[in-house]
Amino acid sequence: MNKLYASILLFFICTNVSAQSFKLSGQIKDEKNDAVAFTSVYIKNTSTGTSANAEGHYQLPVSAGKHVVLFRAVGYKPLEKIVELSGDLTLSVTLVPEAFDLGSVSISANAEDPAYGIIRKAIRNRKKNRDELYEYSCSVYIKGVQKLVGAPKKFFGRDIQKVLELDTNRKGIIYQSESESKFNFRRPGQVREEMISSRVAGRNNAFSFNKASDLMLNFYDNILLENTLSARGFISPIAENALFYYRYKLLGTTEQNGETIHKIEVTPRRNNDPVFRGQIYIAEGSWRLYTTALFLTRSSGINLLDTLHIDQQFLKVEKTFVPGTVIYRFNGNIFGFKFAGNYVGVYSNYNIRPGFPRKWFNGEILHVTDTVNQKPAAYWDQRRPVPLTGEERLNYIRKDSLAKRKESKPYLDSVEQANNAFKLGKLGLTGYTIHNRFHKKSFSFDPVLPSLFYNTVEGFGMKYGITYRKTFDDRSSFNLRPELRYGLANRKFTGSLAAGYTYDPVKRAWVGLSFGSGIFDLNSFGSMSLLTNSFNSLVYETNYPKLYEKRFVDISTGRELLNGLFGSLRLSYARNNTLRNTADFTLIDYEDKQFSSNNPFTPDAESPLFPTYRSLNLHASLSYTFGQKYITRPDMKIYEAPKYPRIEISYRKGIKGVLKSEVDYDLISAEVSQERISSGMFGFTSFVVGAGKFLNNRALYYPEFKHFWGNNALIFPPNLRRFAYLDFYLFSTDREYFEAHAEHNFAGFFTNKVPLLRKLKLEEFVGASYLTQPLKHNYAEFYFGLQRLVFRASYGFAYDGRKKVAQGFRFSYGF
CA angle 13, 18, 19 (to 5 degrees): 100
Close Cβ partners of 511 (under 8 Å, ≥ 6 residues apart) = 500, 501, 503, 555, 556, 557
CA angle 457, 463, 466 (to 5 degrees): 160
Decide: residue 15, CB within 10 A, 0-12 exposed, 13-18 middle, 19+ buried.
Answer: exposed
pLDDT band at 757 (very low <50, low <70, confident <90, very high): confident
Q: Which helix (H) or strand (E) holds 410?
A: helix 409-419
Q: What per-residue confidence (pLDDT) applies to 636?
A: 84
Instruction: Say if residue 188 is preceded by a cis peptide, omega within 30 of 0.
Output: yes
Q: What per-residue confidence (pLDDT) applies to 570?
A: 98
Of 194-208, 324-338, 452-466, 782-796, highest mean pLDDT:
452-466
Mean pLDDT of 175-195: 92
Closest CA to 781 of 760, 800, 763: 800
Lowest mean pLDDT among 4-13, 85-94, 280-289, 294-303: 4-13
Task: Tell me the longest C-alpha to C-alpha distance in the chain.
Answer: 118
pLDDT reading at 243 higher than 80: yes
Q: What are phi and psi of 725, to 5 degrees?
A: -130, 5
Closest CA to 197 of 371, 314, 35, 340: 371
Single-letter amino acid code for the residue at 22? F
Give residue-wise pLDDT tens across range 76-131. Answer: 888 889 988 888 889 999 999 887 666 645 555 567 899 999 999 999 999 999 98
Q: What per-residue confidence (pLDDT) applies to 295?
A: 95
Give residue-wise pLDDT tens across range 365-389. Answer: 999 988 888 888 888 888 888 999 9
CA angle 752, 679, 302 (to 5 degrees): 40
Averaged pLDDT score across all residues of the chain:
88
pLDDT reading at 5 higher than 60: no
Cα torsion through 10, 383, 197, 27, rounded to 10: -150
* 562 C-beta neighbours (distance < 10 Å), count: 10
Mean pLDDT of 668-694: 94
Q: Which CATH class for the 20-95 domain?
A: mainly beta
Cα 447 to Cα 538: distance, rounded to the nearest angstrom: 21
For the chain, give me the number of helices (H) and strands (E)?
12, 44
Closest CA to 78 of 41, 109, 51, 48: 41
Q: Exposure string (b/e) for 254-270, b if CB count within 10 Å is 16 or more?
A: bebeebebbbbbbebee
Cβ contact 613:701 at 8 Å: yes
Q: What per-residue confidence (pLDDT) applies to 159?
A: 72
pTM of the prediction?
A: 0.85
Percent of the chain topping pLDDT 90:
55
Q: Which of the pair, 617 or 258, is modelled with greater confidence? A: 617
Give residue-wise pLDDT tens across range 60-70. Answer: 888 888 888 98
Q: What per-residue confidence (pLDDT) applies to 60?
A: 87
Q: What per-residue confidence (pLDDT) applies to 110?
A: 66
Give residue-wise pLDDT tens across range 299-349. Answer: 888 888 899 999 998 888 887 888 889 999 999 988 888 899 999 999 989
Q: What per-residue confidence (pLDDT) applies to 102?
A: 65
pLDDT reading at 16 higher than 80: no
pLDDT reading at 651 higher than 60: yes
pLDDT band at 447 (very low <50, low <70, confident <90, very high): very high
Q: What per-residue confidence (pLDDT) applies to 671?
A: 98
pLDDT reading at 3 higher than 50: no
pLDDT band at 193 (very low <50, low <70, confident <90, very high): very high
Mean pLDDT of 535-558: 96
Closest CA to 661 of 614, 707, 701: 614
pLDDT reading at 52 higher than 70: yes
Q: What per-residue confidence (pLDDT) applies to 427?
A: 85
DSSP per-residue letters across 741-774: EEEEE-TTTTGGGSHHHHTTT-EEEEEEEEEEET
pLDDT reading at 551 higher than 80: yes
Cβ contact 78:258 at 8 Å: no
pLDDT band at 765 (very low <50, low <70, confident <90, very high): very high
Write down the domain spans for the chain: 20-95, 116-245+301-365, 446-539+547-672, 708-815
Q: Which helix (H) or strand (E) holds 297?
A: strand 289-297
How much of the chain is in helix, strand and coil states, percent to nearest 5?
15, 50, 35
Of 15-24, 166-175, 764-773, 782-791, highest mean pLDDT:
764-773
Mean pLDDT of 668-672: 98
Q: Which of the pair, 662 or 712, is modelled with greater confidence? A: 662
Q: What per-residue confidence (pLDDT) applies to 406?
A: 67
* 528 C-beta neighbours (distance < 10 Å), count: 20
pLDDT reading at 634 higher than 90: no
Q: What per-residue confidence (pLDDT) applies to 12?
A: 36
